[in-house]
Amino acid sequence: MDIIRVMVVEDHQIVREGLRRMLEMEPDMRVVAEASNADEAIRQFRAVEPDVILMDIKMPGMDGIELTRQLTKESPELKILVLTLYDEYLPEAIAAGAVGYLRKDLGSSELSQAIRTASEGRFPLYLNLDRDSLMKIVHPEGGQEVFSERETSIMRCVAGGAQGKEIAAQLAISQTTVRRTLREVYTKLGARNSSEAVAEALNRHLI
């Protein structure tokens, strides 16, 4: 069994300890480093090279958005999951390179599954928001439309962590149609994979 090596970046010690205890109960995960600020996080990241980072946003000094931008620039394959109390930073976090956005009030099983999803190259999104609230964050008034209705539907499924077969079932279309549509979306956005496509689509307020 492959072990997912996790690093926790969080300025509150009690939260870090709780996350570590929670994750170390999972047989396929190990917390290999912790950090309370950006400088410490950069040093720890370079020392241990984790697979997945749980990233807080509000920290002293450099915030989690800028730290995410720096770390993903240094290591494009790094999977960073933003873990926060705030909903409104979703577009910035994804544009900075995060592969997922999680609320701190999610359950332990959801958190563990999100880490697994991210490690597999998928895009976990757990906000505990209703659809209207989510759309106000990621699709404000005046966003330029460049997606068809089908492209929008498929990309929303991708942003929710679904893959080809699941998307086809949810939308009652063929997997071939899903693959073809995703190729067209990648071309439109200049993206190489689903994570880049979701980040760019959110950054442009297209989904």
The CA-to-CA distance between both ends of the chain, in Å, stands at: 36
Same domain, 158 and 91: no
Domain boundary residue, one of 103, 131, 159: 131
**Which residue intervals of the chain are DSSP H helices?**
13-23, 38-48, 64-74, 90-96, 108-119, 131-138, 149-159, 164-171, 175-189, 194-203
Res. 183: pLDDT tops 90: no
Q: Are residues 125 and 170 in the same domain?
A: no
Tokens of 149: 């209705």
Q: Are residues 97 and 126 both part of a single domain?
A: yes
Domain count, the chain: 2
User: φ and ψ at 126, to 5 degrees?
Assistant: -120, 100
Residue 145 has pLDDT above 60, yes or no: no
Q: Are residues 16 and 53 in the same domain?
A: yes
Question: Could you tell me which residue, 144 or 70, shows the higher pLDDT?
Answer: 70
Q: Are residues 93 and 150 in the same domain?
A: no
The reported pLDDT for the residue numbered 56 is 95
pTM, two decimals, is 0.67
173 pLDDT more than 80: yes
125 and 163 share one domain: no
How would residue 42 be classed by pLDDT, with cut points 50, 70 and 90? very high
Same domain, 113 and 16: yes
Calculate Rg over the CA atoms of the chain: 17
Domain shared by 157 and 104, yes or no: no
Domain that holds residue 151: 140-203
Q: Are residues 104 and 148 in the same domain?
A: no
What integer pLDDT is reported at residue 196 of this predicted model? 84
